[in-house]
Structure 1
Amino acid sequence: MAKEIERKFLVDGDGWKDGAEKGVRLRQAYLLGAPDRSARVRLFDDTRARITLKFGSGAMSRDEFEYDVPLDDALDMIDHALGHVIDKTRYRVPAGDFVWEVDVYHGDLADLVVAEVELPSETATPHLPDWLGREVTGDRRYTNQALAETGVIPEEDG
């Protein structure tokens, strides 16, 4: 069983672009969802696809299972999306011993840019680049599942 442990931040500015690798366009649809589990299908540059199952309600870690699926099947699955299909470009940004993934959203979510880093443990302490903004780890409103449900960028608190 795979364990996903990650921290998530809003991005403040364009400083991340200097170290970014070529982006990958992702389209993803949630097929099933509950507060403690989800099933999604994701297309990578419309050339390959994976289905992902996630279980758990922890702020930083959940059980995760991912499998390649035929592209034609994934295209059919997207027609069964709950809510909105997420469209974003993901950039990998190496920083020290960690690799940040910066998601630049498109469509109705076009002003949203989020960075996340996968960790080997919940106690790992990655270097936090200066282009990171507010941490949103554990803020359900910034999960892709919630963004797909609402189709809108969450309003800032305060």
Structure 2
Amino acid sequence: MEHLEIERKFLVKSNAYKDGAKSQTRIVQGFLNTHSERTVRVRIKGEQGFLTIKGMSNESGTTRFEWETEISVAEATNLIDLCEPIILEKIRYEVPVGKHSYEVDEFLGENKGLIVAEIELDHEDEVFKKPDWLGKEVTGEVKYYNSQLSNQPYNQWKKH
């Protein structure tokens, strides 16, 4: 399935998001390709596998092409074995806020300590509620892209 993905990304400054979470899912993902113009991601989310291709972000970092298809967990597991070295692991919390839902990713492993919230929008200037636990906006900051966290993990950054 292909579409334009419009999202904003924020750091999270407290664990209060967990109080409003309607679900949490473990995600394991790797990248077959982390080229700046396209990324190819393999993901196991709960009991489902996915293959995703993302294009380059626009100038503001909010919008980019995304194509995704479901694959079996066995296929995803085999593809993860072919991925670039660092495999990302995280717990994703789905947190409804107003008419939207935030996806809050609590990273594990080499990215432990990083918690990022994303919200998908219908258009770039759409108004949305910002809960108290939301911190600094990092939309378009490449170092927070999952593809970059697999190459330059959070625990290797000089200062957080």
TM-score (norm 1): 0.94
For 1:36 and 1:121, locate their aligned partners in 2 and report how far apart those are by CA, in whole Å. Answer: 22
For 2:74 and 2:89, locate their aligned partners in 1 and report how far apart those are by CA, in whole Å. Answer: 18
SS at match of 1:121: coil
Aligned match of 2:57:
57
What code does the residue aligned with 1:48 have?
Answer: Q
Runs of 4 or more consecutive aligned structure 1 residues displaced over 2 Å after TM superposition: 151-157
Q: Does 1:110 pair with 2:141?
A: no
Q: Does 1:67 pair with 2:58?
A: no
Alignment length, in residue pairs? Answer: 156
For 1:7 and 1:83, locate their aligned partners in 2 and report how far apart those are by CA, in whole Å. Answer: 27
Shift of 1:124: 0.6
For 2:119 and 2:57, locate their aligned partners in 1 and report how far apart those are by CA, in whole Å. Answer: 18
User: Is contact 2:114–2:154 with CA below 8 Å preserved after alignment?
Assistant: no
Cα-to-partner distance string for 1:73-102 (whole Å, 9 max, x where unaligned): 111100111131000010100000110000
For 1:73 and 1:17, locate their aligned partners in 2 and report how far apart those are by CA, in whole Å. Answer: 32
Extract unaligned runs of 5+ from structure 2: none
State how 1:10-21 maps to structure 2 within 5 Å.
10-21=11-22
SS at match of 1:24: strand
User: Is contact 1:60–1:122 with CA below 8 Å preserved after alignment?
Assistant: yes
- The Cα RMSD (Å) is 1.3
Shift of 1:156: 4.9
SS at match of 2:154: coil
Q: Percent identity?
A: 37
For 2:121 and 2:99, locate their aligned partners in 1 and report how far apart those are by CA, in whole Å. Answer: 10
For 1:11 and 1:48, locate their aligned partners in 2 and report how far apart those are by CA, in whole Å. Answer: 27
User: Is contact 1:49–1:71 with CA below 8 Å preserved after alignment?
Assistant: yes
Cα-to-partner distance string for 1:111-154 (whole Å, 9 max, x where unaligned): 11100000000111211111011110000000000001112344
State how 1:90-105 maps to structure 2 within 5 Å.
90-105=92-107
What code does the residue aligned with 2:145 have?
Answer: T
TM-score (norm 2): 0.92
User: Is contact 2:48–2:73 with CA below 8 Å preserved after alignment?
Assistant: yes
Aligned match of 1:25:
26
Aligned match of 2:146:
144
Aligned match of 1:43:
44
Rate the CA distance shift 1:155–1:139 in 2: closer, same or farther, 3 A: farther
SS at match of 1:150: coil
Extract unaligned runs of 5+ from structure 1: none
Aligned match of 2:8:
7
For 2:97 and 2:113, locate their aligned partners in 1 and report how far apart those are by CA, in whole Å. Answer: 24
